[in-house]
Chains A and B, each alone.
Chain A
Amino acid sequence: MDWAEVGIVLLRVILAFVLLLVATVINVWAERKIVADMQSRIGPQRAGPWGILQTVADGLKLFFKESVTPRKAQLGMYLLAPFLAVVPAFLIFMMVPFGAPFTIGGREVVLQGADLNIGVLFIVAMSSMAVYAVVLAGWSSGSKYPLLGGVRATAQAISYEAAMGLAMVAVVMFTATQGDGGTLSLSEIVARQAGTWGAFIPKWNVFPEILAFVIFMIAIVAETNRAPFDLVEAEQEIVGGFHTEYSGMRFAMFFLAEYVNIFSMSAIAATLFLGGWNGPTWEGTVPAFVSAILPTVWFLIKTYVLIFVFFWLRATLPRLRYDQLMMLGWKRLIPTALGWIIVSSIALGVRQFGLPWS
């Protein structure tokens, strides 16, 4: 057994894990700050400079709070649900390459939790797993508002997962024409987005697959249960939805999972559509360590632009009604995604093999 290899894998995973945690701390603060700005308010400002330690303070508060268990809760599932929420959220991010591979001591190290050859499938699978947490939390709380939240979550997840998957299919199809055969590995998808068309337009999938990108963005907002699709937790209607009966650290884990999911999903959107860590590194003109770190910087910038869109949507749009949610999902997004796959595959086929009659 090659222990150095094991060490590198462990380091990679820990690096991704720490990146997620730090990003979550910043994201919670950034959301409150940005939404405050959009409403002409100040937002958190007391904890640390510009209130940046607000999340830490909140976390500490939650850590010391009592975790109340409802009398009618189904204890096993009730305790399991927060973990079920957190684990898939972290696992999804393990698929995302967050920097260019580099060589150290004769070994090639990829900056990625795990480079699965079925990465895209794994993401779809894990994002469906996250729904179980919500449904189980809602069901096992033994209370009516969480139950309503859980029921809403099932319907919402099924509707929007389909659209999300179909949008991903378009990307996978397009990627297959960009190199040697098809691939589901995210690192390979990123590698095939390197370079430019012409002089300036980067070879990102977003340009040929713009409609798939829009559908994917809408679907991931719904998948992460964010406004305007936050029917699952809808404070004004069903108190806190699935996490009504959770308190203390158990609630904190749902909260963590939500923000980790936002980061992971934005990272995946950036990877699939915006070229991942691809970007100019100016190798040779800047110090070596700068050009080594630049891909990660590009990746984070792209991800944060998408996360900003999440916050922007939340500050702008009112929550959808249940029937509007279903209509948007089944009558608009899924037919559009299917139609886009057909159009896109015909176009790709013609480009690849020529017209059928020629």
Chain B
Amino acid sequence: MGLVTEFLKGLRVTGGTMLRTITGKEMVTTQYPKEMREKPQRFHGRHVLNRYPDGMEKCIGCELCAGACPADCIYVRGEDNDPADPASPGERFGFVYEINMLRCIFCGLCVEACPTEAITMTQLFEMSTTNREDAIYTKRELLMKPSGDVPHMFPGDHLADESELLTADGWLRATAPSGVAAYEGVQMWQGTPGPASWDPEPSQEERDRRSGVDDG
């Protein structure tokens, strides 16, 4: 008799699921190209090179990202700024910046290494190409436009999500500059590309007081 009740239980599970699916309460399918699933805040998508609000490039061509890259997929060459028409506020700027997306493992170490928050990661993930050359992103595809838009390999492509191009995500902003992984209550992430607009981080004492840590 136990077998029969188990059998009926099983039928109830599938039947119930069917009713919930038909009435629209439950559905695991997302109609992908038409509707996008919301990605996690710290999603590791393709990179973007940021600008300061005045349009200056953040990258100073220091090559720390290239040094940090475990997959050896970043190639940077710096060059001295023209004092009359500088590309970046510093002495030097990233003259050549290339990322081979076929080699990139999207670990985000370049983002952590960057001293000026020049390179961050977006939530864009549709990077398929028809040849290997297209997979090497140069400054043209990486450097954010002065308007604040993220450049796209194929802007006219129907897979290019316009709203996503406007929301470059800073993984760095979520974990750095304090290096504290638990960032609740501390605003360190912003939804729009460009320079950070958050208030200054509280002091160490202030944060210790908030989290109740007594190291005295």
Which A residues fall within an 8 A CB radius of B?
34, 36-42, 312-313, 315-317
Contact = CB atoms under 8 A, between A and B. Distances in A.
Contacts of B11: 312-313, 316
- SS of A interface (majority): helix
Contact of A40 (B7, B15, B27): B27
Interface residues of B, number: 16
B13 interface: yes
Contact of B29 (A38, A41, A313, A317): A41
B18 A38 contact: yes
A40 B17 CA distance: 7
A313 B31 CA distance: 28
A40 B26 contact: yes
A183 to B, nearest CB: 33
Contact of A312 (B15, B28, B31): B15
B147 interface: no
A38 B21 CA distance: 7
Minimum-distance CB pairs A-B, first 4: A38-B14, A37-B18, A37-B21, A316-B14
Interface in B1-50: 7, 10-11, 13-15, 17-18, 20-22, 26-29, 31
Given A39-B17, A316-B10, 4 more contacts: A37-B21, A38-B14, A42-B31, A316-B11
Contacts of B7: 317
- SS of B interface (majority): helix
A313 B10 CA distance: 9
Most A CB within 10 A of own CB, among B13, B20, B29: B29
Contacts of A41: 21, 27-29
B10 A38 contact: no
A37 to B, nearest CB: 4
B22 A40 contact: no
B204 to A, nearest CB: 48
Contacts of A316: 10-11, 13-14
B27 A42 contact: yes
A311 to B, nearest CB: 10
Contacts of B13: 316
A38 B13 CA distance: 8
Contacts of B18: 34, 37-38
A316 B17 CA distance: 11
B29 A312 contact: no
B10 A40 contact: no
Contacts of A317: 7, 10
Contacts of B31: 42
B10 A37 contact: no
Nearest to A41: B29
A4 B14 CA distance: 51
B53 to A, nearest CB: 45
B22 A37 contact: yes
10 contacts: A38-B18, A40-B29, A41-B21, A41-B27, A41-B28, A41-B29, A42-B27, A42-B29, A42-B31, A312-B15
A312 B13 CA distance: 10
Contacts of A312: 11, 14-15
B143 to A, nearest CB: 39
Nearest to B30: A42
Contacts of B20: 40
A38 B17 contact: yes
Contact of B15 (A36, A38, A39, A42): A38
A38 B28 CA distance: 11
A240 B26 CA distance: 32
Most A CB within 10 A of own CB, among B7, B20, B21, B26: B21
Contacts of B27: 40-42
A317 B9 CA distance: 11
Most B CB within 10 A of own CB, among A36, A40, A41, A42: A40
A219 B26 CA distance: 34
A40 B28 contact: yes
A52 B31 CA distance: 18
A40 B21 CA distance: 6
A213 B195 CA distance: 74
